[in-house]
C-alpha cells in the first residue's frame, strides 16, 4: 500500500472528513515520525511496532561487478520492529 492508497482508504472509512484533511493528517503523522528519528529518538506505536535509528559503522565493501574494494562511509538507517499485535495477526 502506498501513501495515496492509505489516504483514500481512510477517507472512505471516515466520510465525515474531507480527503484533503485526511491527507494532511497522514502527512503530519509521517513527518513527526521522521522528525523524531532524525533527532535520534525512538517512536513506538502500541500494537503496531517501534521505529528506531541504527548506526552502521564505516567498512570496506566490494564492487560486485569488478570485485574492487570500495570504502563505505558510516551511516544511520531506520529500523522497524513489529509489535506483538501485528505479529499475532500476521501469524494467526
81 neighbors 50 (Cβ within 8 angstroms): yes
Q: What pLDDT does 24 receive?
A: 96
Average pLDDT, the chain: 95
Could you tell me if residue 92 is inside a domain?
A: no
Q: Is 67's pLDDT higher than 90?
A: yes
Q: Mean of the pLDDT values across residues 42-55?
A: 95
39: domain range? 3-84
Which grid coordinates are listed for 44?
513506538
d(CA 14, CA 8): 10
Check which CATH number belongs to the domain holding 64 and give it.
4.10.520.10
Q: Is 79's pLDDT higher than 90?
A: yes
Q: Is 92's pLDDT higher than 90?
A: no
Could you tell me if residue 14 is inside a domain?
A: yes
d(CA 88, CA 47): 10
Domain count, the chain: 1
Amino acid at each position: 500500500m502506498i501513501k495515496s492508497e492509505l489516504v483514500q482508504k481512510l477517507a472512505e472509512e471516515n466520510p465525515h472528513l474531507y480527503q484533503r484533511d485526511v491527507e494532511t493528517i497522514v502527512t503530519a503523522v509521517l513527518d513527526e515520525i521522521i522528525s523524531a528519528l532524525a533527532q535520534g529518538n525512538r517512536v513506538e506505536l502500541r500494537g503496531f511496532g517501534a521505529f528506531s535509528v541504527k548506526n552502521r559503522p564505516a567498512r570496506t565493501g566490494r564492487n560486485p561487478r569488478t570485485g574492487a574494494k570500495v570504502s563505505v562511509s558510516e551511516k544511520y538507517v531506520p529500523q522497524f520492529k513489529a509489535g506483538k499485535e501485528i505479529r499475532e495477526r500476521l501469524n494467526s
